[in-house]
Amino acid sequence: MSVSIEHFLVLAALIFAIGCAGVLLRRNVIVMLMSVELMLNAVNLTFVALARQSLSMTGQVIVFFVMTVAAAEVAVGLAIFLAIYSQRRTVNADELNLLRW
Amino acid sequence: MHPAPDTAAVLATSLLRWIPLLPLLGVACGIFAATTNRRKLVHVTGPGSVLLAFVVALVAVAQLWSLPAGGALVDNVYTWIDVAPFHVDLTFRVDALTSVMILVITGIGFLIHLYSLGYMHHDEDEARFFAYLNLFTASMLVLVLADSLPVVFIGWEGVGACSYLLIGFWYQDGANADAGRKAMIANRVGDAAFLIGMFILFWTLYDMGSPSLRFEDINRMAPQLGQVAPHIVTAVCLLLLFGATGKSAQLPLYIWLPDAMAGPTPVSALIHAATMVTAGVYMIARLSHLYVFSPTALTVVATIGAVTALFAATMALVQNDLKKILAYSTISQIGYMVLGVGVGAFSGGVFHLMTHACFKALLFLGAGSVMHAMSGELDIHKMGDLKRKLPITRATFLVGCLAIGGVPPFAAFFSKDMILEAAFASGHTILWFLGLFAAGLTAFYMFRAYFLTFEGESRVEPEKAHHLHESPLTMTIPLIVLAVLSTIAGWVGLPHGFLWGDEIGHYLAPVLAPHDALGHHEITTGTLLFLMVLTTGVALLGIYVAYAFYLKSPGTADRLAERFRGVYTVLWNKYWVDELYDALIIRPYGIVSMFFWKVVDSMLIDGVVNGVGIGVSKTSDVWRRLETGNVQHYAAAMLVGAVFTCGLYWLWS
């Protein structure tokens, strides 16, 4: 049995769903950040798979681009959480709700 | 026809701008003095700046006289408005008519400034007073020096503003401030008509290819205008006339002038007798070439003049306040001027303007001198026998009364006679008769005032009697000079065929529309003599009746008032005109304003505006609960949104 494009896509969809659930359900912002990474990588997987399928380089280039942005995003995100933690002694998303009505 | 104005000699000069500029410098000094409390300064700059302006005016008039008849001096200062096709230069121009006006304004103006030195000596706000008075002089000079209607309007509004400031000069008393406001509003009504008239005139001239409001151009275009658009000419003339009735206190807008007596007396003399109130007459004379093309408008002008002359004279009969009597007599005398220009005797109107400026300034300053001596008392029933204590005031006041009464050879005899003669010659017999009757009344009420004030028994209250005193020299010298002027000023305009004849008429002829434009009949010397004897007789009769009523057998007047109680009540209440305006205009206006305030503004407009605000606020009170501040809720919303959008896309394709 060979590995077909559907396998990649289903795996990517599963990873994306797990990431999505992590972002929506977990309260620890570090875990949420990691879940975002999961979602990004799921998308990366889709790109690579489809790029291979259509024999195009564009998808692979975008993957590198996404990885760069993700690295920067994590750096900024962690810096923010550190700052919040030093201020509020918590990184629980439920308690970080000042920006509201 | 006389030579067209634009072919006559015109001399360019930069002298004229100094005539209004000098009093304006006086204003600057006055403001400086008022704010830094240096009252001594205005004693020099106040009258001094006007004296210098008078000297410059004399030089200008001398230059004008060296030009051939019909010449003019022109001073183009700068371009004021240049919005094609509307072009207005700030240009000053002196021709025969303006030369008379600037000499009257600066000459009599200087005398009144001089008088004010004495009169206002005890006032705290002397510096402010002189600043206003100088500003008025400057504005009035701009009004008469202007060579186009828009520039006239600068002066027109300027004198109105100064009039307001000076009537309410003692604003600490609310009644004075109210009088100022009344003058301002009555004038504003007229000014609106003036502006509309000016706009219509410009529009029509623009359509005819001459977009200019310079008097020269208006006069040049007048014949064509009269031919092409006679109704427009009538409309423009009537609108400008309505403007003039505001400024010159004629029916129906005269109501502010009696109240304007709330201002200091020199102000009444300068603004509300000698100069500003004659601006309307000046304006009509200036536009005489236009007015002659609308016989309808001229008839209206003449009728308003004659009716005002009589109407105001009747109201003056029963007044007890010396200044009020003079105020009504001013309205009445300006009525004569308006009658004069209305029957085509433009030079007669201007002539009466000139003589009136002399004798009415004299009378007002005389009244001020009496008031000064009487510690502010103005009721003529509380005076009497002042001749012993105030000899100079009494002598000059008597000259003023003779002059205004029309007794030969004093000033108004000639000028009033010229107007009445023109009214008779033009066939307006009814208007002539009204004028004649008013002349008799004028002599009567002026001598009533004179006899009650200076002759007979003293009725002065004891505590005022002991400090009765003649006024200081700064006040009596102007009185004497004006008395001399009131005597001789009329001699420049003798009737045709007597000695040198009508000099002023010849002098003004190149500027004004000719008499015969209206188809006057020449009247014979016999008729002329008869008219002169008749007016003199009427005047003397008026004086005799006043003598009989108030000096020979005092009490006659009271008995007559008792007998004709109805007439007396009507006159005493000034025909209830103020009450009528109050009921017809002011109250309805107040009710309408109240409606717009309480209903339209407070309820409708505020309701809509506040309603929108409250609605948005209430709605957002509900919806803002969506903003929980929890990032996971937002992420969930994004997910739902994304799924929803994708779903839509999938369904749609």
Mention every residue, 6+ apart, whose C-beta is less than 8 A from residue B224: B208
Residue B248's nearest CA partner among B269, B271, B215, B265 is B271
Q: Give yes or no for a contact between B364 and B337, defined as CB atoms under 8 angstroms apart.
A: no
CB contact under 8 A, B630 and A24: no
Interatomic CA distance for residues B186 and B425, integer angstroms: 34
Confidence of residue A4 (pLDDT cuts 50, 70, 90): confident
Residue A64 corresponds to which amino acid? Answer: F
CB contact under 8 A, B628 and A98: no
B472-499 as b/e: b if 16+ CB within 10 A: eebbbebbbbbbebbbebbbbbbbeeee
Interatomic CA distance for residues B307 and B549, integer angstroms: 26
Amino acid B272: pLDDT:
83
Chain A: residue whose CA lies nearest to B624:
A101
More confident residue, A99 or B595: B595
Candidate from B625, B632, B639 with C-beta closest to A93: B632
Chain B: residue whose CA lies nearest to A96:
B630
Q: Give yes or no for a contact between B293 and B226, defined as CB atoms under 8 angstroms apart.
A: yes
Interatomic CA distance for residues B267 and B260, integer angstroms: 9
Q: Give yes or no for a contact between B26 and B130, defined as CB atoms under 8 angstroms apart.
A: yes
Q: Give yes or no for a contact between B360 and B265, defined as CB atoms under 8 angstroms apart.
A: no
Residue B408 corresponds to which amino acid? Answer: P
Mention every residue, 6+ apart, whose C-beta is less than 8 A from residue B335: B250, B304, B305, B306, B307, B308, B309, B310, B311, B312, B438
More confident residue, B465 or B239: B239
Q: Is pLDDT above 90 for B388?
A: no
Amino acid B497: pLDDT:
65
Instruction: Give chain A positions within 8 Å (CB) of B629.
Output: 96-101
Work out the number of other CB atoms within 10 angstroms of the CB of residue B522: 10
Q: In what order do the strands lie in the sheet with B10-12?
A: B10-12, B72-83, B86-94
CB contact under 8 A, B632 and A23: yes
Amino acid B4: pLDDT:
47
Amino acid B345: pLDDT:
85
More confident residue, B48 or B626: B48
Interatomic CA distance for residues B269 and B249, integer angstroms: 15
Cis bond upstream, residue B391 (ω within 30):
no
Confidence of residue B7 (pLDDT cuts 50, 70, 90): low
Q: Is pLDDT above 50 for B3?
A: no
CB contact under 8 A, A97 and B624: no
Amino acid B329: pLDDT:
92
- Three-state secondary-structure class, residue B170: coil
For the segment B190-237, what is each residue's pLDDT rounded down to a tens digit?
999 999 999 999 999 998 888 888 988 888 888 888 888 889 999 999
Question: In Å, how far is A2's CA from the nearest CA of chain B?
Answer: 30
Confidence of residue B376 (pLDDT cuts 50, 70, 90): confident
Interatomic CA distance for residues A46 and A54, integer angstroms: 12
Q: What is the ipTM of this complex?
A: 0.86
Question: In Å, how far is B154's CA from the nearest CA of chain A?
Answer: 59
Q: What is the mean pLDDT of chain B?
A: 87
Interatomic CA distance for residues B239 and B224, integer angstroms: 20
Question: In Å, how far is B587's CA from the nearest CA of chain A?
Answer: 53
Amino acid A15: pLDDT:
96
Amino acid B518: pLDDT:
53
Interatomic CA distance for residues B325 and B335, integer angstroms: 15
Candidate from B629, B632, B636 with C-beta closest to A100: B629
More confident residue, B431 or B123: B431
Q: Is B263 left (phi over 0), alpha (psi -120 to 50) or beta?
A: beta
For the segment A67-79, what is each residue's pLDDT rounded down to a tens digit?
999 999 999 999 9
Amino acid B597: pLDDT:
92
For the segment B596-634, what is each residue's pLDDT rounded down to a tens digit?
999 999 999 999 999 999 999 999 989 888 888 888 888
Amino acid B1: pLDDT:
37
Residue B319's nearest CA partner among B453, B169, B455 is B453
Amino acid B555: pLDDT:
76
> What mean pLDDT do residues B445-457 have?
87
Chain A: residue whose CA lies nearest to B634:
A24
Confidence of residue B154 (pLDDT cuts 50, 70, 90): very high
Residue B5's nearest CA partner among B514, B594, B478, B475 is B514
Q: Is pLDDT above 70 for B6?
A: no
> Measured in whole angstroms, how far is the alpha carbon of residue B577 from the centre of its chain?
20
Instruction: Give chain B positions within 8 Å (CB) of A93.
Output: 630-632
Interatomic CA distance for residues B574 and B328, integer angstroms: 10
Residue B380's nearest CA partner among B445, B285, B331 is B445
Q: Is pLDDT above 90 for B274?
A: no
Q: Is pLDDT above 50 for A99?
A: yes
Interatomic CA distance for residues A33 and A25, integer angstroms: 12
Residue B412's nearest CA partner among B397, B430, B428, B400 is B400
Q: Give yes or no for a contact between B527 and B445, defined as CB atoms under 8 angstroms apart.
A: no
Q: How far apart are the first and last CA of chain A?
A: 56
Confidence of residue B5 (pLDDT cuts 50, 70, 90): very low
Interatomic CA distance for residues B357 and B345, integer angstroms: 18
Amino acid B617: pLDDT:
93
Report the share of chain B in percent with pLDDT over 70: 97
Using a CB–CB cut-off of 8 Å, the residues of A that contact B are 20, 23-25, 27, 32, 93-94, 96-101
Confidence of residue B521 (pLDDT cuts 50, 70, 90): low
Question: In Å, how far is B615's CA from the nearest CA of chain A?
Answer: 18
* Dihedral angle of Cα A67, A69, A72, A73, to the nearest 10 degrees: -100
Token readout for B12 is 């360019």
Interatomic CA distance for residues A53 and A51, integer angstroms: 5
Q: Is pLDDT above 50 for B372?
A: yes
Q: Which of B619, B620, B632 to mutate to test the interface with A (most CBs of A within 10 A)?
A: B632
Q: Which of A28, A84, A97, A98 to mutate to test the interface with B (most CBs of B within 10 A)?
A: A97
- Which uninterrupted H or E stretch holds B75? strand B72-83
Question: In Å, how far is A21's CA from the nearest CA of chain B?
Answer: 10
Mention every residue, 6+ apart, whose C-beta is less than 8 A from residue B154: B139, B142, B143, B146
Q: Give yes or no for a contact between B27 and B241, defined as CB atoms under 8 angstroms apart.
A: no
Residue B44's nearest CA partner among B36, B54, B55, B33 is B33
> What mean pLDDT do residues B540-561 have?
83
Amino acid B9: pLDDT:
80
Interatomic CA distance for residues B103 and B97, integer angstroms: 10
- Three-state secondary-structure class, residue B10: strand
Q: Which of B84-88, B144-148, B474-478, B567-571 comes out lowest in average pLDDT?
A: B567-571
The runs of H, that is alpha helices, within B146-173 are 149-167
For domain A5-90, the CATH architecture is: Orthogonal Bundle (1.10)
Chain B: residue whose CA lies nearest to A99:
B629
Q: Is pLDDT above 70 for B515?
A: no
CB contact under 8 A, B639 and A20: yes
Work out the number of other CB atoms within 10 angstroms of the CB of residue B595: 11
CB contact under 8 A, A24 and B632: yes
CB contact under 8 A, A93 and B639: no
Confidence of residue A93 (pLDDT cuts 50, 70, 90): confident
CB contact under 8 A, B627 and A100: yes
Q: Which of B96-105, B210-219, B456-465, B590-599 comes out lowest in average pLDDT?
A: B456-465
Interatomic CA distance for residues B554 and B86, integer angstroms: 65
Token readout for B105 is 């304004």
Q: Which of A50-64, A85-99, B136-150 comes out lowest in average pLDDT?
A: A85-99
- Dihedral angle sign, alpha carbons of residues B360, B361, B362, B366: positive
Mention every residue, 6+ apart, whose C-beta is less than 8 A from residue B344: B292, B298, B422, B426, B513, B515, B517, B518, B520
Cis bond upstream, residue B85 (ω within 30):
yes
Confidence of residue B522 (pLDDT cuts 50, 70, 90): low
Candidate from A24, A25, A98 with C-beta closest to B629: A98
Instruction: Give chain B positions within 8 Å (CB) of A99.
Output: 627, 629
